[in-house]
Amino acid sequence: MRVPYGEWRPDVGGPNSGFAKVADGVLPQAASTGIGYGPLASLVTASGAEALSGAPRGIITAFKADGSYAVIAATASTIEIMDSSYQWTDIETGRTVTAGDDVSFAQFGKYVINTDTTSGMKAYDVDGGGANSAVTAGPAARCVFTCNNVVFAGGTSASPRRIASSAIGDHTNWTTAGADGKTFEDGGAIVGGRDLKNGAAVLFQETAMRLIQFGGAATYTIAKVADGRGAVSDRGIVAFDGMVFYLATDGLYKFTLAGGNEPIGAEKFNRWLATQITSADYENVIGAVDPYQKVVWFRISSSLLLGYDWQLNAAFTAQFATSTLSRLALSAVTIDSLSGTIDALDVTLDSRLLEGGGLLFGALDSTYKFATFSGSSKEATLQTNDVVLPNAAMANWCTPDSDAPNSTIALGVSENRHTALSWKTGAGKNTSGRVGLRGRGKVFGFKEVIPAAEDWTFANGVEDVELAIGGVR
């Protein structure tokens, strides 16, 4: 008997589903059985990193004219910039950020526009430095994004349902040269917006979603593409290469111009997700993209992440202690600049963390320090669906379809479908790769645990399950 792990779909009820019940600390990958799993890198805090002065309330990595990057983050009272040794310097102090919102960031040329409805719109020259200066004519807005060389400000202090657009190429002009605005009579307060590409952007309200499309240099149209459903928070909206992923009150969605709205979590993990967060937690959900792995991540809580691989259409979970997620830039690390010994490194020498000079999927850890997902493999846990047999049986052996040399397999057994599995102690592989089992029942499950820092490449399920079949009970 062979039992593949399959795609993780905790919402699928009943036995013999063919879907994994647990896929934690792993990355999905293609397998002959459909979906298998590979290792996920652990979170590594940069050596010598200084903590941001407070809990993060918005973060951005900005491009500079010389080809380098600048990481800028907000707290409830400051805007700070990180240098190449991961130390933070104040750009602004004494700021008052609107309760429940982040500072919304968007890069526009050499300026990092930052806004909230309390402190208003400001701009920081990422190339020249200096003060984080007020944009005098700019609206105090809940969110800011750019599209087609125009700055959009949504949820202004004048009205939470108003969107304003700047003049072309000028973030300081909000009244002439094509500047415009509109107050929506339906859809509720504006939550956030993101640029798609090719002159299109999406605007989210509490209960509506609208598409902005430019027909010329300055003219654009706004059309409703979802009614009765919007995004729950600006933090939970992620855009990359013409795709926008967002959390709505009924689960996760993906939007593209070609495909419209796609409910990527429906009948997969949306019901599970509803058990992990309540409406009071929505504003704390934070999304980010890892383009290298083709994964969009959502920080569900301070310790739980939900990942979604958009190429494989497969989700998974991971346990990490973070305070925010983002695509972050870092400086290259040389052998001469490493502290300690090579044996003491938390990352491998071919890690992208040591390459520097680019954007990586990263985080501020639970202590608000710069960190990247670039360490050795994280502990992984995989569990099959429940397998129901017509007759009771004794399970004696199985062979894990994985190349993790030190993984263990635990057997779960039950006498009927309405009783939860009782789990035996996990056992390791013998010299031939088999695992000895000992359990009797009509319902079986298999759980593989792969230890942290293990050198492995695939885990697809269990096979060659040896059963001694008994009589009908």
CATH number of the CATH domain containing 299: 2.130.10.10
Q: Which two tokens stand for residue 262?
A: 């796609």
My answer on whether 27 and 56 are in the same domain is: no
Instruction: State whether residue 70 is helix, strand or coil.
Output: strand
Q: What is the pTM of this model?
A: 0.92
My answer on whether 247 and 323 are in the same domain is: yes
Instruction: State whether residue 117 is helix, strand or coil.
Output: coil
Q: How many domains does the chain have?
A: 2
**Distance (Å, whole) CA 202 – CA 212:** 6
- Domain with 351, as residue range(s), is 44-376
My answer on whether 69 and 122 are in the same domain is: yes
User: Judging by beta carbons within 10 Å of its beta carbon (0-12, 13-18, 19+), is residue 440 exposed, middle or buried?
Assistant: middle
Closest CA relative to residue 233, chosen from 142, 115, 366 = 142
CA diameter of the chain: 84
Looking only at the bridges linking them, the beta strands covering 150-156 and 162-165 are antiparallel
My answer on whether 274 and 394 are in the same domain is: no
Closest CA relative to residue 365, chosen from 27, 21, 43, 25 = 43
**Distance (Å, whole) CA 348 – CA 274:** 37
Contacts for 346 with CB less than 8 Å, ≥ 6 apart: 42, 44, 375, 376
My answer on whether 316 and 397 are in the same domain is: no
My answer on whether 339 and 392 are in the same domain is: no
Residue with tokens 């063919």: 18
Phi, psi of 187 (to 5 degrees): 95, -10
Q: ∠444-450-454 over CA atoms, to 5°?
A: 160
My answer on whether 415 and 305 are in the same domain is: no
User: Judging by beta carbons within 10 Å of its beta carbon (0-12, 13-18, 19+), is residue 473 exposed, middle or buried?
Assistant: exposed
My answer on whether 142 and 263 are in the same domain is: yes
My answer on whether 90 and 204 are in the same domain is: yes
| Gap between the terminal Cα atoms of the chain | 21
At which of 360, 376, 392 does a domain end?
376
My answer on whether 406 and 264 are in the same domain is: no
My answer on whether 220 and 270 are in the same domain is: yes
pLDDT at 347 (0 to 100) = 43
Closest CA relative to residue 260, chosen from 303, 285, 214, 223 = 223
pLDDT in tens, the chain (473 residues): 999 999 999 999 889 999 999 999 999 999 988 999 999 999 999 999 999 999 999 999 999 999 999 999 999 999 999 998 999 999 999 999 999 899 999 999 999 999 999 999 999 999 999 999 999 999 999 999 999 999 999 999 889 999 999 999 999 999 999 999 999 999 999 999 999 999 999 999 999 999 999 987 778 999 999 999 999 999 999 999 999 999 999 999 999 999 999 999 999 999 999 999 988 888 889 999 999 999 999 999 999 999 999 999 999 999 999 999 998 875 433 444 444 443 444 444 444 444 445 678 999 999 999 999 999 999 999 999 999 999 999 999 999 999 999 999 999 999 999 999 999 999 999 999 999 999 999 999 999 999 999 999 999 999 999 999 874 44
Contacts for 41 with CB less than 8 Å, ≥ 6 apart: 373, 374, 375, 376, 377, 378
Q: What is the CATH number of the domain that holds 415?
A: 2.60.120
At which of 344, 360, 376 does a domain end?
376
- Cα–chain center distance at 224: 26
My answer on whether 384 and 371 are in the same domain is: no
At which of 344, 376, 408 does a domain end?
376
Q: List residues bridging with 220 in a β-sheet.
A: 214
